[in-house]
Structure 1
Amino acid sequence: MKCPGRDMQYWKDDAIYEVPCPRCTSEVEFYKDDTTRSCGACGHRFVNPRLDFGCAAYCKYAAQCVGTLPEEAAHLTADLFKDKVAVAMKKELKGDFARIGRAARLAAHAEKIGAEEQADLGIVMCAAYLDVIAHPNLSNLYPDATAERNDPHNLDRVRAILEELGAPAPLAAAVCDLLTEASPDKSKKSMEFLVLRDARRITMIEQHLKNQKEPFLANGVEHLHTGSARRLIKEILNQHA
């Protein structure tokens, strides 16, 4: 059976459209399933800005349908894969709604901070969803809890989940590296690490606000590394004022 999303007989009027070339601004026609097109005026080849293969995150025929994405769109692989990881996390935790909620909050904060800091959201989001499995103890959100984060046994299930989902090797390695990185020297850290760490801390601050444990708040805010995280925590604190 042909996928309705790829079968032109099911397409609507907006399935074919024109977008301006990012180099010369000439109009370039795209079909909704085109990954890239070349500008007829200047020859510049660029990714379809309206490309949407969200269904590839769960459809078992995605590989045959979508095929190989161009190098320019390689980041979409990790971005789409995060949806698979989110589903796998919920299945893994089953009825543990407290931990599922923690993972969802952590991922939401990581996405907001990561987008503003221009981090690799695919890697950050996958790591955020799996953090609750790699580090089940809430104490890992404290900056001095390095022992647990460095324990390779905590990543066994994470690696298994990524393998079961068919994660590309570079993505799986990047996610596991992100979940185990714990050096106190932030100058050597990637933006992805700083984003995830800030998202963890904000998640913990929210929990302390809920439990009305004020002494943690000042220390928690002080340890945020990114400007985006500091702006976000101000919004959260204002909501609880």
Structure 2
Amino acid sequence: MQCPGQDSRFWDGAAVFEYKCPKCGHMLEFFKDDSKRRCKNCGNEVFNPRMDFGCAAYCPYAEQCLGQLPPELLAKKQEKLITDTGAELKRRLKDDFKAIGRAGRAARRAAELAADNEGSNKAVIVLSVYFVILAEAAGGNAAELSQSIMTHFGANEGLKNEIRALLEHQGSAGDEDLNLRLVRQALVP
């Protein structure tokens, strides 16, 4: 048995609506349970504007369910990951208030630097700062810590790989990408 909200026999006229493709202006027909539709005119994938994707911010299966997430949902998901990782850092550092304070200051500085530098990735920078400080205080490898913590919180593979690569090159000199340079700047007291 289906919930009446999911059973199309109980839907009224508001359950089906039209929406213009933002790319070409062609009209698309959405049903209330459609997460996305592909425009038949230009091939653009359009997310249902009336669907609440709030669950995608915390669900580890959101990308499998919805495919590629819209930028605003990806940002929410990354903000939640930053918040959860900050809480995990505090939990692991327990009474090391000096390291906790340093992590908070460095994370704020990292977020400011990311906002000021186009092309940077705030989540990569802030999370990398957290992992470097946690590794220094707890005595461990930042790249390995990052993988276990991010896996625990359901981070996607692309983000995990990007942070791991950055942390593995964090101590070496030479060519720097923007995110690595900003992590180094944020860690300077």
* 1:110/1:195 contact within 8 Å kept: yes
Out of 160, 166, 172, which is 1:172 matched to? 160
The residue type equivalent to 1:160 in the other structure is: S
The residue type equivalent to 1:76 in the other structure is: L
Task: Name the structure 2 match of 1:131.
Answer: 132
* SS in structure 1 at match of 2:95: coil
1:46–1:83 distance in 2 versus 1, CA, 3 Å: farther
* 2:131/2:145 contact within 8 Å kept: no
* 1:134/1:179 contact within 8 Å kept: no
Number of corresponding residues = 169
Task: Name the structure 1 match of 2:101.
Answer: 101
* SS in structure 1 at match of 2:23: coil
Looking at structure 2, the residues matched to 26 and 163 of structure 1 have their Cα atoms a distance apart, in angstroms, of 41
| Aligned-residue offset at 1:119 | 1.3
Task: Name the structure 2 match of 1:89.
Answer: 89
Looking at structure 2, the residues matched to 98 and 32 of structure 1 have their Cα atoms a distance apart, in angstroms, of 51
Looking at structure 1, the residues matched to 187 and 165 of structure 2 have their Cα atoms a distance apart, in angstroms, of 16
* SS in structure 2 at match of 1:91: helix
* 1:113/1:195 contact within 8 Å kept: yes
The residue type equivalent to 1:189 in the other structure is: E
TM-score, normalization by structure 2: 0.61
Task: Name the structure 1 match of 2:149.
Answer: 161
Looking at structure 2, the residues matched to 109 and 25 of structure 1 have their Cα atoms a distance apart, in angstroms, of 41
Out of 143, 163, 184, which is 2:173 matched to? 184
TM-score, normalization by structure 1: 0.51
Looking at structure 1, the residues matched to 150 and 124 of structure 2 have their Cα atoms a distance apart, in angstroms, of 12
Q: Deviations over 1:1-33 (max 9, x none)?
A: xxxxxx9xxxxxxxxxx9975434679899999
Looking at structure 2, the residues matched to 63 and 195 of structure 1 have their Cα atoms a distance apart, in angstroms, of 28
Q: Deviations over 1:96-128 (max 9, x none)?
A: 333222212212221222233221222222212
* SS in structure 2 at match of 1:68: helix
1:27–1:96 distance in 2 versus 1, CA, 3 Å: farther
| Aligned-residue offset at 1:173 | 3.2
Q: Percent identity between the aligned chains? A: 27
